[in-house]
Amino acid sequence: MVEFSCSPPRLTFITGASRSGKTHLALQLALRYPPPRVYLATAQALDAEMSLRIRRHREERTGNFETFEEPLRLTHLLRSLDQSYSVVIIDCLTLWLNNLMASLGEDQDSLRQEASELVEFFKSFSIPTVIISNEVGWGIVPNNPLARKFRDLSGNLNQDLAAVADQVVLTVAGIPLFLKQPLVDPPR
């Protein structure tokens, strides 16, 4: 098991493009903690391609995590977790937001409230957590209002969680770029 050179971060936020190595990095970070560990999946197997992705992610974990699948009630599930877990991975925030938009429709106030509730929750959650989210705002401006709303909500949520995170990592081509790191413990 890899040891931390400083206090382990309470909240790590990993972002990057699709297939950039976010989940692989999250698993590596979480395996630094002893069992029991939680993997909280937000994806829904709505088609064959997504079913295959979910299966591959399950195979990556190979029994090292207790898995919970929750596409909508993320904060509620986090509140219910037993404090005996050593670490939580949330994969992924972008899919959770997509699920919320599909469920709540055009109700922007409810979407913002759900996102705000999640950010507030992480200000005091005591179990070390690794959140995975996609960086969706680097492409062209979407040509339809729904896609623009999703991009904007996702970007705002990513900013808000990065602000409260102890550690923020951008993954590019499988390489982690540490943008924000916890302070090193002073010598004893």
57 catalytic per annotation: yes
Tell me the torsion sign for CA atoms 145, 146, 147, 149: positive
Long-range contacts of 102-106 (CB under 8 A, 24+ apart): 103/72
The residue type at 11: L
Proportion of the chain in helix, strand, coil states, percent, rounded to 5: 40, 20, 40
Contact 130, 12 (CB under 8 A): yes
Residue of 24, 32, 57, 58 marked active site: 57
Task: Please report the beta strands in the chain, taking only residues with DSSP state E, as ranges in sequence order.
Answer: 11-16, 37-41, 66-69, 87-91, 129-134, 167-172, 175-180
Which residue's structure tokens are 């949330």?
90
Helix (H, G, I), strand (E, B) or coil at 169: strand
Residues with catalytic roles: 57
